[in-house]
Amino acid sequence: MKANLKEMFQGREIVIAPGAYDAISSMLIEKAGFKAIYVGGASTSYSTLGKPDLGFVGLEGMTGQISRISDASSVPLICDADTGYGNELNVAFTVRAFEAAGASAIQIEDQVSPKRCGHLSGKEVIPPDEMEIKVKAAVKTRKNALIIARTDALAVNGIKDAVERANRYLEAGADMAFVESPRTEEDLHLIGREVKGLKMANMVEGGRTPLTPAKKLQEMGFNLVIYPGAAIRAALMGINRMLDSLMKEGTTSGYLENMVDFGSLQKILGTEEILKLNL
């Protein structure tokens, strides 16, 4: 049984959730000692489609990814449902599908569909009353999953509107609010002070929000911080460096210290334990 996310969020320590882009990355995150994993639409789009975060991954793509990661790990999964893939009826269907796949928390945003990455320009947002209807549908439908309401209004209408929307979504029943793309530390402080409920922060390397240590975010009032793309960015850098070495040297022998060898990989995968089952 997976740990209770709500109890974790209400604890004294901020929850740090790195993003998994596939099953084996989720295993590494759990092995490293993290208590929650973020499953984002961006990393899923990068890893399964080789496409940017522009709404190309739909409901089936995300539930398949969540299911695989849920099977590979035992910690709670915080899962990105973009706009809920439609109106309140679609949101209700999405919540049921995400829970069945293994989501412990479901994040829904107020962007106009098709959405785009929160750190790209050109976003649009729906009216807040429309989003409130979506939040209420999600809350009414869910069995156990927490509902995280994200607003992208800061980049479109400014921080005042974003904070007002976040509070409205909390009043509509969301368990946590997420104001995307704060641009400065002052923005983060304001969100931490003015959003009246559980709060989430998003750290995107090279994105619009300044990279802020988890301890400092905790002091500002945040309960959860996600690093949605850190793992896949690190993996891409490692792959590029290995390929560059292989192209130059014609062998990987000079790069072995930067790689997991065959035996270590089998330990990560639990191959010996699986073979002992004699299935």
The predicted-structure confidence for 193-239, as pLDDT tens digits, reads as follows 999 999 999 999 998 999 999 999 999 999 999 999 999 999 999 99
CATH architecture, domain defined by 5-228: Alpha-Beta Barrel (3.20)
Domain positions in the chain are: 5-228, 236-276
pLDDT of residue 119: 86
Q: b/e string for 103-140 if b means 16 or more Cβ within 10 A?
A: bbbbbbbbbeeebbbbbeeebebbebeebbbbbbbbbe
- What predicted TM-score, i.e. pTM, was given to this entire model? 0.94
Confidence of residue 279 (pLDDT cuts 50, 70, 90): low
pLDDT of residue 68: 98
The overall average pLDDT reported for the chain is: 95
pLDDT (tens digit per residue) in 125-164: 999 999 999 999 999 999 999 999 999 999 999 999 999 9
Cβ–Cβ under 8 Å, residues 69 and 26: yes
Confidence of residue 4 (pLDDT cuts 50, 70, 90): confident
Angle at 203 between CA 54 and CA 239, to 5 degrees: 70
- What mean pLDDT comes out for the span 94-103? 98
pLDDT of residue 278: 64
Half-sphere exposure (Cβ direction) of 251: Cα atoms closer than 13 Å: 3
Which residue(s) pair with 225 in the sheet? 16, 201
pLDDT of residue 113: 86
pLDDT of residue 215: 97
Report the relative pairing of strands 199-202 and 176-179 from DSSP bridges.
Answer: parallel
pLDDT (tens digit per residue) in 238-258: 999 999 999 999 999 999 999
pLDDT of residue 3: 76
pLDDT (tens digit per residue) in 161-185: 999 999 999 999 999 999 999 999 9
